[in-house]
Amino acid sequence: MKLDKFTVKAQEALQESQAIARKRDHQEILPEHVLLALLQQQDGLVPPLLQRVGADPKLVQQRLDDELKKVPSVQGGEAGHLAQRTLKVLDAAEAEAGKMKDEYVSTEHILLALAADKKLEALKASGATRDRIASALQSVRGSQRVTSQDPESQYRALEKYAIDLTDRARKGKLDPVIGRDEEIRRVIQVLSRRTKNNPVLIGDPGVGKTAIVEGLARRVVDGDVPEGLKD
Protein backbone atom coordinates (compact mmCIF):
# COMPACT_ATOMS: atom_id res chain seq x y z
CA MET A 1 0.00 0.00 0.00
CA LYS A 2 1.51 3.31 -1.13
CA LEU A 3 0.00 6.31 0.66
CA ASP A 4 1.27 8.68 -2.02
CA LYS A 5 -1.25 7.03 -4.36
CA PHE A 6 -4.11 8.03 -2.04
CA THR A 7 -5.90 11.35 -2.35
CA VAL A 8 -5.49 14.01 0.31
CA LYS A 9 -8.95 13.27 1.74
CA ALA A 10 -8.23 9.53 1.83
CA GLN A 11 -4.93 10.09 3.66
CA GLU A 12 -6.64 12.42 6.13
CA ALA A 13 -9.31 9.80 6.81
CA LEU A 14 -6.69 7.16 7.57
CA GLN A 15 -4.86 9.52 9.91
CA GLU A 16 -8.11 10.38 11.66
CA SER A 17 -9.02 6.70 11.98
CA GLN A 18 -5.78 6.19 13.90
CA ALA A 19 -6.67 9.13 16.17
CA ILE A 20 -10.13 7.64 16.80
CA ALA A 21 -8.63 4.26 17.70
CA ARG A 22 -6.08 5.89 20.01
CA LYS A 23 -8.77 7.94 21.75
CA ARG A 24 -10.75 4.78 22.46
CA ASP A 25 -7.65 2.85 23.60
CA HIS A 26 -7.97 0.36 20.74
CA GLN A 27 -4.75 -1.35 19.68
CA GLU A 28 -5.73 -1.92 16.05
CA ILE A 29 -7.22 0.37 13.44
CA LEU A 30 -10.39 -1.38 12.28
CA PRO A 31 -12.59 -0.74 9.22
CA GLU A 32 -15.12 0.70 11.68
CA HIS A 33 -12.60 3.39 12.67
CA VAL A 34 -11.99 4.19 9.01
CA LEU A 35 -15.70 4.50 8.20
CA LEU A 36 -16.27 6.69 11.25
CA ALA A 37 -13.45 8.97 10.10
CA LEU A 38 -15.01 9.20 6.63
CA LEU A 39 -18.39 10.09 8.12
CA GLN A 40 -16.91 12.83 10.29
CA GLN A 41 -14.82 14.36 7.51
CA GLN A 42 -15.62 18.00 6.82
CA ASP A 43 -17.04 18.47 3.30
CA GLY A 44 -16.54 14.75 2.78
CA LEU A 45 -18.09 12.77 -0.05
CA VAL A 46 -19.23 9.80 2.03
CA PRO A 47 -22.27 11.27 3.88
CA PRO A 48 -23.96 12.57 0.69
CA LEU A 49 -23.24 9.27 -1.08
CA LEU A 50 -24.92 7.35 1.73
CA GLN A 51 -27.88 9.71 1.61
CA ARG A 52 -28.24 9.03 -2.11
CA VAL A 53 -28.76 5.33 -1.40
CA GLY A 54 -31.28 6.04 1.34
CA ALA A 55 -28.97 5.50 4.31
CA ASP A 56 -28.91 7.92 7.24
CA PRO A 57 -25.26 8.90 7.94
CA LYS A 58 -26.09 9.81 11.55
CA LEU A 59 -27.71 6.42 12.14
CA VAL A 60 -24.73 4.66 10.56
CA GLN A 61 -22.44 6.64 12.85
CA GLN A 62 -24.53 5.69 15.87
CA ARG A 63 -24.31 2.02 14.94
CA LEU A 64 -20.56 2.36 14.50
CA ASP A 65 -20.27 3.84 17.98
CA ASP A 66 -22.21 0.87 19.36
CA GLU A 67 -19.93 -1.59 17.55
CA LEU A 68 -16.74 0.14 18.67
CA LYS A 69 -17.87 0.05 22.30
CA LYS A 70 -17.60 -3.74 22.06
CA VAL A 71 -13.92 -3.58 21.06
CA PRO A 72 -11.61 -4.28 24.03
CA SER A 73 -9.69 -1.28 25.35
CA VAL A 74 -6.03 -1.54 26.33
CA GLN A 75 -4.87 1.23 28.64
CA GLY A 76 -1.50 2.63 27.65
CA GLY A 77 -1.55 0.81 24.32
CA GLU A 78 -0.58 2.51 21.08
CA ALA A 79 -2.96 2.36 18.12
CA GLY A 80 -0.44 2.27 15.34
CA HIS A 81 -1.05 -0.72 13.12
CA LEU A 82 -3.81 -1.58 10.72
CA ALA A 83 -5.88 -4.67 11.43
CA GLN A 84 -5.83 -7.43 8.80
CA ARG A 85 -9.43 -6.58 7.91
CA THR A 86 -8.42 -2.97 7.31
CA LEU A 87 -5.48 -3.96 5.12
CA LYS A 88 -7.84 -6.09 3.02
CA VAL A 89 -10.24 -3.15 2.73
CA LEU A 90 -7.46 -0.84 1.53
CA ASP A 91 -6.25 -3.46 -0.96
CA ALA A 92 -9.84 -3.72 -2.21
CA ALA A 93 -10.00 0.09 -2.46
CA GLU A 94 -6.91 0.06 -4.67
CA ALA A 95 -8.58 -2.59 -6.81
CA GLU A 96 -11.71 -0.41 -7.08
CA ALA A 97 -9.56 2.49 -8.27
CA GLY A 98 -7.97 0.21 -10.84
CA LYS A 99 -11.35 -0.91 -12.16
CA MET A 100 -12.35 2.72 -12.66
CA LYS A 101 -9.00 3.51 -14.27
CA ASP A 102 -8.34 6.13 -11.59
CA GLU A 103 -4.81 7.24 -10.82
CA TYR A 104 -5.38 7.72 -7.09
CA VAL A 105 -7.31 5.89 -4.38
CA SER A 106 -10.03 8.24 -3.18
CA THR A 107 -12.56 8.20 -0.35
CA GLU A 108 -15.24 6.71 -2.59
CA HIS A 109 -13.00 3.74 -3.40
CA ILE A 110 -12.53 3.14 0.33
CA LEU A 111 -16.30 3.37 0.88
CA LEU A 112 -16.96 0.81 -1.86
CA ALA A 113 -14.41 -1.52 -0.27
CA LEU A 114 -15.93 -1.00 3.19
CA ALA A 115 -19.39 -1.82 1.81
CA ALA A 116 -17.99 -5.12 0.54
CA ASP A 117 -16.70 -6.04 4.03
CA LYS A 118 -19.30 -8.53 5.27
CA LYS A 119 -18.36 -7.93 8.91
CA LEU A 120 -19.14 -4.21 8.82
CA GLU A 121 -22.61 -4.39 10.35
CA ALA A 122 -23.25 -0.63 10.43
CA LEU A 123 -23.31 -0.41 6.63
CA LYS A 124 -25.11 -3.71 6.14
CA ALA A 125 -27.93 -2.65 8.45
CA SER A 126 -28.35 0.63 6.56
CA GLY A 127 -28.86 -1.10 3.21
CA ALA A 128 -25.85 0.68 1.70
CA THR A 129 -24.55 -2.15 -0.49
CA ARG A 130 -21.51 -1.88 -2.69
CA ASP A 131 -23.60 -1.94 -5.88
CA ARG A 132 -26.00 0.74 -4.68
CA ILE A 133 -23.12 2.99 -3.66
CA ALA A 134 -21.42 2.40 -7.02
CA SER A 135 -24.61 3.45 -8.81
CA ALA A 136 -24.90 6.61 -6.69
CA LEU A 137 -21.25 7.38 -7.31
CA GLN A 138 -21.78 7.12 -11.06
CA SER A 139 -24.47 9.79 -10.87
CA VAL A 140 -22.09 12.10 -8.97
CA ARG A 141 -18.92 11.42 -10.96
CA GLY A 142 -20.27 10.79 -14.42
CA SER A 143 -17.31 10.05 -16.69
CA GLN A 144 -14.78 11.89 -14.51
CA ARG A 145 -11.66 10.06 -13.43
CA VAL A 146 -9.49 10.61 -10.38
CA THR A 147 -6.36 12.13 -11.87
CA SER A 148 -5.39 14.43 -8.99
CA GLN A 149 -5.08 14.18 -5.22
CA ASP A 150 -8.07 16.49 -4.65
CA PRO A 151 -10.91 15.15 -6.83
CA GLU A 152 -13.59 15.40 -4.13
CA SER A 153 -13.72 19.20 -4.53
CA GLN A 154 -14.75 18.72 -8.17
CA TYR A 155 -17.61 16.42 -7.17
CA ARG A 156 -18.78 18.92 -4.55
CA ALA A 157 -18.77 21.66 -7.19
CA LEU A 158 -21.01 19.52 -9.39
CA GLU A 159 -23.46 18.96 -6.56
CA LYS A 160 -23.41 22.64 -5.62
CA TYR A 161 -23.73 24.23 -9.05
CA ALA A 162 -25.43 21.57 -11.19
CA ILE A 163 -28.85 19.91 -11.12
CA ASP A 164 -29.08 16.12 -11.50
CA LEU A 165 -32.05 15.89 -13.85
CA THR A 166 -31.83 12.11 -14.21
CA ASP A 167 -32.22 11.84 -10.44
CA ARG A 168 -35.29 14.09 -10.60
CA ALA A 169 -36.72 12.03 -13.45
CA ARG A 170 -36.11 8.83 -11.49
CA LYS A 171 -38.07 10.29 -8.56
CA GLY A 172 -40.96 11.38 -10.80
CA LYS A 173 -40.30 15.08 -10.27
CA LEU A 174 -40.26 16.02 -13.98
CA ASP A 175 -43.38 16.71 -16.01
CA PRO A 176 -43.95 14.79 -19.27
CA VAL A 177 -42.45 16.49 -22.34
CA ILE A 178 -44.73 16.64 -25.37
CA GLY A 179 -43.86 17.64 -28.93
CA ARG A 180 -40.09 17.72 -28.54
CA ASP A 181 -39.19 14.29 -29.94
CA GLU A 182 -37.27 15.64 -32.94
CA GLU A 183 -35.10 17.97 -30.84
CA ILE A 184 -34.46 15.27 -28.23
CA ARG A 185 -33.43 12.80 -30.94
CA ARG A 186 -31.04 15.39 -32.37
CA VAL A 187 -29.42 15.92 -28.96
CA ILE A 188 -29.05 12.15 -28.57
CA GLN A 189 -27.39 11.94 -31.99
CA VAL A 190 -24.84 14.61 -31.03
CA LEU A 191 -24.14 13.01 -27.64
CA SER A 192 -23.57 9.64 -29.32
CA ARG A 193 -20.80 10.91 -31.59
CA ARG A 194 -17.20 9.92 -30.96
CA THR A 195 -16.04 13.50 -31.47
CA LYS A 196 -17.73 16.90 -31.27
CA ASN A 197 -20.27 15.39 -28.91
CA ASN A 198 -21.16 18.45 -26.81
CA PRO A 199 -24.60 19.74 -27.84
CA VAL A 200 -25.43 23.39 -27.10
CA LEU A 201 -29.04 24.52 -26.86
CA ILE A 202 -29.44 28.14 -27.98
CA GLY A 203 -32.63 30.17 -27.90
CA ASP A 204 -34.56 32.93 -26.22
CA PRO A 205 -35.94 32.38 -22.72
CA GLY A 206 -39.13 30.35 -22.70
CA VAL A 207 -38.71 28.56 -26.04
CA GLY A 208 -38.29 25.14 -24.37
CA LYS A 209 -34.57 24.47 -23.96
CA THR A 210 -35.06 23.07 -20.46
CA ALA A 211 -37.93 20.88 -21.66
CA ILE A 212 -35.62 19.24 -24.20
CA VAL A 213 -33.04 18.40 -21.53
CA GLU A 214 -35.73 17.15 -19.15
CA GLY A 215 -37.14 14.98 -21.94
CA LEU A 216 -33.67 13.54 -22.48
CA ALA A 217 -33.33 12.85 -18.76
CA ARG A 218 -36.62 10.94 -18.76
CA ARG A 219 -35.45 8.86 -21.72
CA VAL A 220 -32.15 8.05 -19.99
CA VAL A 221 -34.02 6.85 -16.91
CA ASP A 222 -36.47 4.83 -19.05
CA GLY A 223 -33.57 3.26 -20.98
CA ASP A 224 -34.88 4.73 -24.24
CA VAL A 225 -31.44 5.84 -25.42
CA PRO A 226 -28.44 4.20 -27.14
CA GLU A 227 -26.28 1.92 -24.99
CA GLY A 228 -23.59 4.56 -24.53
CA LEU A 229 -26.03 6.97 -22.88
CA LYS A 230 -27.75 4.53 -20.55
CA ASP A 231 -27.65 5.42 -16.85
pLDDT for the residue numbered 75: 79
Going by the DSSP 8-state scheme, the letter that residue 29 receives in this structure is: E
Q: How far apart are the first and last CA of the chain?
A: 33
Q: Cα separation of 34 and 30, whole Å?
A: 7
pLDDT for the residue numbered 169: 86
Q: Cβ of 38: how many Cβ atoms within 10 Å?
A: 27
pTM of the model: 0.68
pLDDT for the residue numbered 194: 78
Triad 222, 228, 231: Cα angle to 5°: 40
Helices (H) and strands (E) in the chain, counts: 12, 2
Q: Which domains does the chain have, with CATH numbers?
A: 3-161 (1.10.1780.10), 165-229 (no CATH)
Measured CA distances, 194 to 184, 208, 230 (Å): 18, 27, 16
pLDDT for the residue numbered 128: 94
pLDDT for the residue numbered 60: 96
pLDDT averaged over 10-residue windows placed end to end, the chain, 231 residues = 87 95 92 97 90 93 95 76 95 95 94 95 92 87 76 61 79 88 91 84 88 91 85 59
